[in-house]
Structure 1
């Protein structure tokens, strides 16, 4: 499986100079808040990755059920702030070009480590690296390409293995590569249970799964690389950083269009479509975002929180400032009420999904075939996202911006194509 190709986004500009809508609400202030929210969220993401490294080091030093559980808990905690940054992806080229290093999915995990070939398969016509298993093979010879993997380093993962063979499913870096290493494959399908890798897979003295030293090296290299990649983006959104400069160059109208592009594209094509509707249509647990850990409900929930953050100009009590919501309210109070109501309805739908995942069944079970109640909860969340996107489109028009081509998805726009 591959990530869908994104639709090209139309660069939105003002039809005329952006008017002052109220003495206390200025587009420049809105954009300043937007940048501050990004800086805070990426800083928290970086802090989470560093905490994950501490837990990984503890696991490696003393492999046990307890230290493995702590590392998994640290991974889940690290995901929360990162997922709230995804509303910055689609309008900011600097983010979208970088994002695949840290959050690419789905992945053909056989590139990294051993897999259950009975469920995973032992070959792929589309991917020569499908079962390359770098952890077991210090030298890889695939499709006429030879890779020296004797030393597993961040550079090997990023430069030689990430998208090896120009196949997007060859994900060697980022959160999901680490997730696979900590949990292993989820072999439960749409039945209860996540991945269940034993702690002894990291125990050199009592090694299971083989190649424990190399597995440890891979886990440490991937974690170090995640930190360095997040350092890059945290720096980009710090005062004077490259992301801020890129946004400034667009002007006020272009900056506002960037905010709305991120909101609309994440809401519609990416989250409602590729991450949710597609999996629901196929009843396929492999189409859930955090498929090894069964943490998908939290990743989806935090995407919704991230959309709210950029619209309301807030982040976790750390940032509160002038917002897009303020601009809309000044221009069209009724639309402002509509937009807030739609966002609140979406939040309620995802809170219901989150509660069900925590008390009844995991997300991969919800999308299972024949699960009427679970399917309905997921569909209600999808419907809310689609509906709020219509109001986001109205905001674009109300603020006098050119139309924006939000990311689409065949699962929403052309469902028959999914089964072809």
Structure 2
């Protein structure tokens, strides 16, 4: 699939501007239609994940655990392509932490290795292990956690004590419960949670297998309900769509803010360069499953899709329409050509990272001190993302859209601050 995508990228070149003028309303409609499709695909794949989790809980085995893990990886494909809707769309930003918050203090949820440590000044419940504790004290109050429910996760544990690292819900909580900690450092390998962590009776390992299953079930239920809610926001009368289309200039600003902020501060900075600076595999976005390379790839692809107004659904259906690229080509063809070129260049760099992982260099190995080849792979992609951000800013100028502030990152803007 990757190679096919690249073949398509290579043929994407500037052609003459459309004969008919592109209406901004049509551009916004395409963007919203694709958002609805992406979140719908995310919901569909999350339902498959839920079914696989149910099979694991009902009949724990090495096979059902492997199938649940495969379903999680598949569910990430459409979801990561939605991250471009963050930053510019407040409805998405306000919601996103419930489904994709990261990093997380996994000791809040379940057992961890002794090297993990315990409570810290920043997080008093970093090692709470709610799965092992049916009752605990939070903010001076005793919490009854005898029954692990979606409400307990969402209303009590998520960002408990106003600590962002207290992540109790979403993809990454589920990821941790399927893989466990990745204790390989900057060596190859993902988490190695045994299937017996969900076994019954004497076969149960690491204790509390029934409560662990309850937590996994509750987290997958929450993920479904959260995605159902977001699909509705992009429906024809949904709040996200009507907000986007209600003010055309603001709608274009939302698209470009999402593209630029994900490209620069979030992906190039926080998710990629920071890990290289710190040589820290804990900075991997999908660290438990060791699939960060795909997370980055699909984030970058989502940025490209937002500009070109194109998306391939999980069932292979193609969605396309009037695009931001069409609009820019009419007002400033060189700016459009440069951004297309830069978006393509970024996808080439992301594919280089994916290929390297296929050839034996895991993403966390790329972050190891002294791995010059790995650092070059990551930093070449960072440079491409920064370059495409500069082109995004030129498009903002071409469309005369002032007032856009892109997400920044100390790792890009003030490296010394990273080490303070």
State the TM-score, normalizing by the size of structure 2: 0.93
- For residue 132 of structure 2, give the secondary structure of its aligned residue in structure 1: coil
- Structure 1 gap segments, 5+ residues each: 1-20
> Does the CA contact (< 8 Å) of 1:128 and 1:143 recur in 2?
no
Give the deviation of 1:170 after TM superposition. 0.2
| Counterpart Cα distance in 2 of 1:162 and 1:305 | 30
- For residue 99 of structure 1, give the secondary structure of its aligned residue in structure 2: helix
1:407 aligns to what?
A: 407
Mapped pair 1:212 → 2:191: no
Mapped pair 1:57 → 2:54: yes
> Does the CA contact (< 8 Å) of 1:35 and 1:244 recur in 2?
yes
| Mean CA deviation greater in 95-104 or 396-405 | 396-405
- For residue 136 of structure 2, give the secondary structure of its aligned residue in structure 1: strand
- Structure 2 gap segments, 5+ residues each: 1-17
| Mean CA deviation greater in 57-66 or 106-115 | 57-66
2:99 aligns to what?
A: 102
| Residues 5-35 of structure 1: per-residue CA shift (max 9 Å, x gap) | xxxxxxxxxxxxxxxx973411110000000
> Does the CA contact (< 8 Å) of 1:132 and 1:142 recur in 2?
no
Q: 1:327-406 alignment to 2 at 5 Å?
A: 327-406=327-406
Q: Which residue, out of 221, 224, 236, partners 2:221?
A: 224
Mapped pair 1:261 → 2:257: yes
Mapped pair 1:246 → 2:264: no
| Counterpart Cα distance in 2 of 1:183 and 1:391 | 39
State the structure with bigger RCO (CA 8 A, min sep 6), 1 or 2.
Answer: 1
| Mean CA deviation greater in 202-211 or 97-106 | 202-211
> Does the CA contact (< 8 Å) of 1:52 and 1:78 recur in 2?
yes
| Counterpart Cα distance in 2 of 1:381 and 1:404 | 24
1:173 aligns to what?
A: 169
| Counterpart Cα distance in 2 of 1:370 and 1:60 | 42
| Residues 264-304 of structure 1: per-residue CA shift (max 9 Å, x gap) | 00000000001111111000000000010001000100001
| Counterpart Cα distance in 1 of 2:270 and 2:350 | 16
| Counterpart Cα distance in 2 of 1:98 and 1:338 | 33
- For residue 135 of structure 1, give the secondary structure of its aligned residue in structure 2: helix
> Does the CA contact (< 8 Å) of 1:111 and 1:129 recur in 2?
yes
2:137 aligns to what?
A: 141
2:121 aligns to what?
A: 125
| Counterpart Cα distance in 2 of 1:213 and 1:327 | 55
> Does the CA contact (< 8 Å) of 1:101 and 1:174 recur in 2?
yes
| Counterpart Cα distance in 1 of 2:98 and 2:279 | 28
> Does the CA contact (< 8 Å) of 1:42 and 1:234 recur in 2?
yes
Give the deviation of 1:247 after TM superposition. 1.1
2:11 aligns to what?
A: none
| Mean CA deviation greater in 399-408 or 207-216 | 399-408
> Does the CA contact (< 8 Å) of 2:25 and 2:245 recur in 1?
no
Give the deviation of 1:145 after TM superposition. 2.9
> Does the CA contact (< 8 Å) of 2:157 and 2:166 recur in 1?
yes
> Does the CA contact (< 8 Å) of 2:21 and 2:330 recur in 1?
no
| Counterpart Cα distance in 1 of 2:235 and 2:207 | 43
| Counterpart Cα distance in 2 of 1:362 and 1:48 | 25
| Counterpart Cα distance in 2 of 1:32 and 1:139 | 49
1:4 aligns to what?
A: none
Aligned residues: 398
| Residues 114-148 of structure 1: per-residue CA shift (max 9 Å, x gap) | 00022x11221110111100000000124523211
| Residues 193-241 of structure 1: per-residue CA shift (max 9 Å, x gap) | 1100000000113100100000000000000000000000011011111
Give the deviation of 1:248 after TM superposition. 2.3
Mapped pair 1:272 → 2:268: yes
1:67 aligns to what?
A: 64
| Counterpart Cα distance in 1 of 2:141 and 2:367 | 39
Give the deviation of 1:192 after TM superposition. 1.2
State the TM-score, normalizing by the size of structure 1: 0.93
Mapped pair 1:237 → 2:234: yes
Give the deviation of 1:255 after TM superposition. 0.5
1:183 aligns to what?
A: 179
2:417 aligns to what?
A: 417
> Does the CA contact (< 8 Å) of 2:29 and 2:245 recur in 1?
no
Runs of 4+ in 1 over 4 A off after TM superposition: none
